[in-house]
């Protein structure tokens, strides 16, 4: 292997180790703590490897300099036509060898800036922080993003895209190019915002009951677009045997028309300006966790709460609202199997294939089932754990939002393919420092029928920033028998 290639390999290895070092350090910094023992050991070991490579690179550089001094001309023997071989000076030989090595390594030496890998949702949280700290002013937010987050320039690009409206008059006077995904200042920032929202959704979805469908071996819900009419047949006709010359009986069919429109879940969080100061690294996680927790709680609660009924043009009914409910027969493993047989019997009676069946239950219920033992000390249901798994071959989703009944918890059997789901897949966030808010989880104000309330609080007066998050999502049960509920569940072995 040539000396230049060997140096190139060592430099690449060093860059990889530096990135590894930064990853360990940045993880602790992002979490606002010191490195733990294992992280410190990993940091020290990587540092020693870098020192060893630096020493080897120093030796190779000295050797390369010695080769330059000893190099001889290998080009044409006679350049001036006098018949004598030409002899290069040391400077000429050095220049030629260095140019040759540079060509082997690439004519241009570029410095690579290694951006640290951010946790899920942090990139979007940074966008929200800049918007909130700037009190909704896009120009100030873009400047703050450029100042405080130079390692993620796409945030500033997205915020800058909100300033284009003032240039409309000038743009009409000149030729205007079409927006493309590669133009750094025209259209690509719009794509970047979608990526931010996707980053936030990627953090949010795995924590929700809805988000766990379609992941980790759990069947997917039936995804459909918003604003669609779905025709279905609710009953079939009957055929008859007819004798010669006899009249043919009549039959009829029953159909329905289901409409799934827009529905919106939203939350407003009020944060003090102190919490949004950039001197506190944990504020990023605070904003991210606050927004996600608000949406998680609302979505999960209303997805499985039997008391959640349809509110026309506002919110969907839960998948358990009006579903068939069975009372648990007891707390032993045999009782659990009897409950499972009853719930599955509801599927079979309605001709529903259980291939996409999923259990939804509390983590406490899953823990009880995992602790049940037979007379030989063996697990009665070895496939289930505190975090899910399988119950008698059916995937399990656990959530603390599954409701309790008077005699115990609730366990829900869902046929995933029989749940319609329309999801916009994005979160819209707005910020304001000048607004006055009704500080209530049940606000009475309505722009359609103006009302007054004494609970209004000024964001400006209290040095606060209001952050509003919205997500468009809707769902509906396709067939009533597709959800079977077992209530008063308490599998404590008694």
Amino acid 420: pLDDT: 92
Q: How do beta strands 419-423 and 464-477 pair?
A: antiparallel
**Domain final residue, candidates 156, 190, 206:** 206
Could you tell me if 312 and 189 lie in one domain?
Answer: no
The answer to whether residue 247 is domain-embedded is no
Could you tell me if 135 and 28 lie in one domain?
Answer: no
The answer to whether residue 11 is domain-embedded is yes
* In contact, 231 and 251? CB cutoff 8 Å: no
Cα 203 from Cα 211, distance rounded (Å) = 10
Could you tell me if 91 and 162 lie in one domain?
Answer: no
Which parts of the chain register pLDDT below 70?
1-2, 69-117, 135, 161-196, 198, 202, 205-206, 234, 276-284, 452-454
Tens of pLDDT, residues 13-34: 888 888 888 888 888 888 878 8
The answer to whether residue 330 is domain-embedded is yes
Amino acid 178: pLDDT: 52
Q: Specify the pTM.
A: 0.60
The answer to whether residue 26 is domain-embedded is yes
In angstroms, the first-to-last Cα distance of the chain is 74
**Domain final residue, candidates 206, 222, 256:** 206
Q: Which domain holds residue 323?
A: 208-233+266-439+466-494
Read off the CATH number of the domain in which 370 is found: 3.30.2320.10
Amino acid 106: pLDDT: 41
Cα 340 from Cα 347, distance rounded (Å) = 11
The answer to whether residue 256 is domain-embedded is no
Could you tell me if 326 and 284 lie in one domain?
Answer: yes
Could you tell me if 218 and 189 lie in one domain?
Answer: no
Could you tell me if 137 and 53 lie in one domain?
Answer: no
Could you tell me if 186 and 228 lie in one domain?
Answer: no
Could you tell me if 213 and 158 lie in one domain?
Answer: no
Amino acid 195: pLDDT: 62
Give 396: exposed, middle or buried? Use CB within 10 Å, 0-12, 13-18, 19+: buried
Could you tell me if 127 and 33 lie in one domain?
Answer: no
The answer to whether residue 399 is domain-embedded is yes
- Strands (E) across 276-435 are located at 324-327, 357-361, 384-385, 388-391, 394-398, 404-405, 408-415, 419-423, 428-432
In total, how many domains does the chain have? 3
Could you tell me if 139 and 224 lie in one domain?
Answer: no
Residues in contact with 308: Cβ distance below 8 Å, sequence separation at least 6, in sequence order: 301, 302, 315, 317, 318, 321
Amino acid 256: pLDDT: 75
* Chain centroid offset of residue 6 CA: 41
Could you tell me if 91 and 22 lie in one domain?
Answer: yes
Could you tell me if 310 and 421 lie in one domain?
Answer: yes
Amino acid 441: pLDDT: 75
The answer to whether residue 259 is domain-embedded is no
The answer to whether residue 151 is domain-embedded is yes
């Amino acid at each position: 292997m040539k000396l230049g290639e060997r140096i190139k390999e060592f430099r690449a290895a060093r860059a990889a180790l530096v990135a590894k070092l930064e990853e360990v350090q940045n993880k602790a910094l992002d979490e606002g703590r010191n490195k733990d023992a294992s992280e410190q050991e990993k940091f020290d070991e990587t540092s020693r490897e870098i020192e060893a490579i630096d020493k080897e690179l120093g030796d190779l550089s000295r050797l390369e300099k010695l080769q330059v001094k000893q190099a001889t001309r290998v080009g044409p023997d006679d350049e001036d036509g006098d018949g004598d071989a030409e002899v290069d000076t040391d400077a000429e030989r050095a220049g030629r060898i260095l140019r040759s090595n540079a060509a082997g390594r690439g004519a241009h030496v570029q410095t690579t800036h290694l951006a640290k890998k951010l946790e899920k949702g942090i990139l979007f949280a940074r966008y929200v922080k800049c918007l909130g700290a700037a009190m909704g002013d896009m120009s100030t937010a873009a400047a703050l993003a450029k100042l405080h987050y130079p390692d993620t320039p796409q945030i500033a690009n997205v915020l800058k895209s909100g300033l284009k409206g003032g240039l409309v008059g000038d743009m009409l006077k000149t030729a205007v190019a079409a927006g493309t995904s590669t133009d750094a200042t025209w259209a690509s920032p719009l794509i970047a915002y979608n990526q931010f929202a996707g980053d936030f959704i990627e953090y949010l979805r795995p924590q929700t009951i809805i988000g766990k469908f379609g992941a980790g071996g759990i069947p997917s819900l039936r995804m459909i677009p918003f604003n669609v009419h779905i025709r279905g047949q609710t009953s079939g006709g009957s055929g008859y045997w007819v004798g010669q010359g006899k009249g043919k009986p009549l039959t009829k069919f029953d159909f329905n028309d289901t409409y799934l429109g827009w529905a919106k879940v939203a939350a407003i969080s009020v944060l003090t300006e102190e919490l949004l100061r950039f001197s506190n690294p944990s504020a990023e996680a605070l904003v991210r966790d606050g927004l996600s927790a608000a949406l998680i709680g609302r979505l999960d609660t209303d997805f499985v709460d039997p008391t959640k009924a349809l509110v026309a043009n506002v919110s969907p009914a839960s998948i358990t609202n009006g579903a068939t409910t069975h009372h648990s027969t007891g707390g032993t493993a045999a009782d659990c199997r009897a409950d499972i047989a009853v719930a599955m019997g509801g599927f079979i009676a309605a001709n529903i294939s259980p291939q996409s069946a999923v259990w939804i239950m509390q983590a406490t219920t899953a823990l009880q089932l995992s602790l049940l033992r037979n007379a030989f000390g063996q697990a009665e249901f070895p496939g289930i754990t505190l975090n899910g798994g399988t119950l008698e071959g059916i995937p399990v989703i656990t959530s603390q939002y599954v409701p309790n009944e008077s005699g115990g918890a609730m366990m829900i059997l869902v046929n995933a393919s029989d749940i319609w789901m329309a999801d916009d897949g994005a979160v819209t966030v707005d910020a304001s420092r000048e607004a006055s808010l009704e500080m209530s989880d049940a606000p009475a104000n309505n722009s359609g029928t103006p009302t007054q309330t004494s609970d209004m609080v000024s964001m400006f007066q209290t040095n606060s920033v209001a952050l509003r998050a919205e997500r468009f999502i809707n769902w509906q049960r396709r067939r009533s028998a597709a959800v079977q509920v077992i209530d008063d569940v308490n599998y404590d072995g008694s």
